Amino acid sequence: MNKPFDKLKLHGFNNLTKSLSFSIYDICYAKTEQQRKEYIEYIDEQYSADRLTDILGEVVDIIGANILNVARQDYEPQGASVTILVSEEPVEEQQNYDADEAPGPLPDSVVAHLDKSHICVHTYPEAHPDDGICTFRADIEVSTCGIISPLKALNFLIHSLESDVVTIDYRVRGFTRDINGVKHYIDHAINSIQNFMTEDTKEAYQMMDVNVYQENLFHTKMMLKETDLNTYLFGLSTDELSDDEEEEIRSKLTREMQEIFYGRNLPETE
């Protein structure tokens, strides 16, 4: 991989498009049909289009952008989508923008700017009709055009959303020209998405990279290492379960997380 210049003197605007997209999965166990129904209702209420609009609106405020347009929709029987078009506020001293490969700031100190960009989220709650496993997925995309990278928002988003499994993609598209007319296909150094995460996040998750450096394409998978079964039970607690029931539920939850993490169905065990 060619190392990009530390500072590029550009001919006109930076035309690189940087897209950060990821799916977060929250997994739980609901024993009865009624509990599974209540779980879907709970998720739909917690992540309605209005609530998602408020969440993304807070993100836009934190990164210092302007909202141009909001499109939102709730779906039947469940799920919601929100897309926000945003524009950059005037940026002074752009040459001081920090493009180092390091975690972005936490929610209380995030300041960034976007141009010709968008933030969107789509939700997909579902419940298995037989074995009690319920999985909520939220797909989020932050796409920017200009000098900044949406990777600086990754730390904020991970710390704002609790999740059991996360799959992340980062891609730099297009090119920009310097004052000599030479094309540059990336304007910042990057070795791994993991380098933009805090140490506590990397310690909490099992992680795996699949990167294609020559295409400026980076992929990271994350799966939570340690789990408290009570945080995965909807409508009941471990006090209501026998040892055998606990073991069976743990096995189901572990299998669900591993299949999502590895992206394939695992063989049945006796």
Which of 28, 120, 134, 145 is flagged as catalytic? 145
Which of 117, 143, 149, 163 is flagged as catalytic? 117
184 is catalytic: no
Which of 113, 122, 149, 163 is flagged as catalytic? 122
117 is catalytic: yes
Q: Residue 108's closest CA among 46, 161, 62? A: 62
SS3 content of the chain, % helix, strand, coil (to 5): 30, 30, 35
User: Cβ distance 165 to 223 under 8 Å?
Assistant: yes
Distance CA 125, CA 140 (A): 15
Left (φ > 0), alpha (ψ -120 to 50) or beta: where does 61 sit?
alpha
113 is catalytic: no
Distance CA 75, CA 89 (A): 33
Residues taking part in catalysis: 117, 122, 145
